[in-house]
Amino acid sequence: MPVSSRMYSIFLPFATLILDLTIAFVYIKSNFWISGICTALVALLPLMCSTSLLFCGWARIQTALILLGFLHCGPQLILQLTLLVRYWDDFKVVLISYGTIDSPQYTIIVIGCLVGCLELAKTARECHFICQAPAKPLRVTASYFRASPFFMFHILIRGLSIGLVLSLVPTWCAYILLFLFLVSNLCQLLFIIKLPRAQALISSVTSLLTPSIFPAREPLSYRTVARFQIINSVFATVLICLSAVVAHVVTDRFTCDPQSIPHALSLLNTGSEAECVNYWALKFGFLPYILIGCIVYVVLVVVVAGILEPGWLKLPSHPDSKPSDIDCDFDSECSTIQLDKKMTGPLPSFSQFYQGPETDI
């Protein structure tokens, strides 16, 4: 693997960990002890889990980094969005100050969320291509980076929607909703995609914010990966919409009690006297916006993954090359000459590749 690619793969996950630990310190310093401890645990537990698997020889460095990215960035992003929305009024007094540098802590939290999104999009992109060729039978050019905005779109829609919903329901209800998301993912992988149990169990966690199947030794065709992306997006959208309805019913505070919800979400008058309104956008709060966003999200995923099938989502591969034809492990170095000797039949034409420096996935 080139040095630049290796440094990029290792630098971003650990930069995200450092930022999250900084955020935990900011919370604790501002006397938000529970938020700080939870942020630190979500950052450190995935690191210890991935390090243990790597130390015991149960995973190689590439799969360990992918697992670290999913287990760390996904839950951390949901946690930070939930905390910012739920405790917006409390943070505004201590952390948030607009137009000045009196409160840089809020900027650190926002930057941490953005870096977490980038790391999660990078992890999902790598996982998407590795699923199609676990043994790396071919190399691809740097053009596969164009798939990152597609996975970033998944993260933004799901992350914002889930974080917003979880911030408005009781804590016990939030745990139930997250459990339903995981069970839904597991059922899709076991009974629709028909993956092995171990791979389906891990993939149910990795597909929380992005429809990502954790790679195994057996390759998956693009058709299978795209089918799971569409199915998982539809199921996730239905659960998000149902969760939004539950949050609206449980809270029921958008019409006549605007002071009891965060000011960032209140579109009503914030005076001392509560006023009931009949305008639908104010009466139903955030619910219409989540429904419209989910509909647009599903339509775009179906069009891109199912109808257009752009080349930057497909891994160029040779039809006669099989994982067993190449004598190399999941994370071992395989030179281009070695691959050429192992491949049978004519080589794929260079028209399948984009111009650019070769990059390992």
- Residue-wise pLDDT for 138-190, tens only, equals 454 445 677 888 999 999 999 999 999 998 888 888 999 999 999 999 999 99
Confidence check: pLDDT of 276 > 60: no
| Inter-residue contact 280 to 288 (CB < 8 Å) | yes
Confidence check: pLDDT of 253 > 70: no
Determine the Cα–Cα distance for residues 35 and 101; give it in Å rounded to an integer: 23
- CA nearest neighbour of 352 among 323, 307, 330, 319: 319
Q: For residue 180, what are the domain limits? A: 3-359
Q: Which two tokens stand for residue 195?
A: 């993956």
Least confident range from 66-70, 108-112, 116-120, 289-293: namely 108-112
Confidence check: pLDDT of 9 > 70: no
pLDDT confidence tier of residue 195, bands split at 50, 70 and 90? very high
Mean pLDDT over 219-247 rounds to 92
The per-residue pLDDT of the chain, averaged, comes to 76
Q: What is the pTM of this model?
A: 0.75
Q: What is the pLDDT of residue 133?
A: 78
Neighbours of 93 (CB within 10 A): 10
Determine the Cα–Cα distance for residues 296 and 161; give it in Å rounded to an integer: 13
How many domains is the chain built from?
Answer: 1
Q: Which amino acid is at 135?
A: A
Q: Which of 233-237, 311-315, 318-322 has the highest mean pLDDT?
A: 233-237
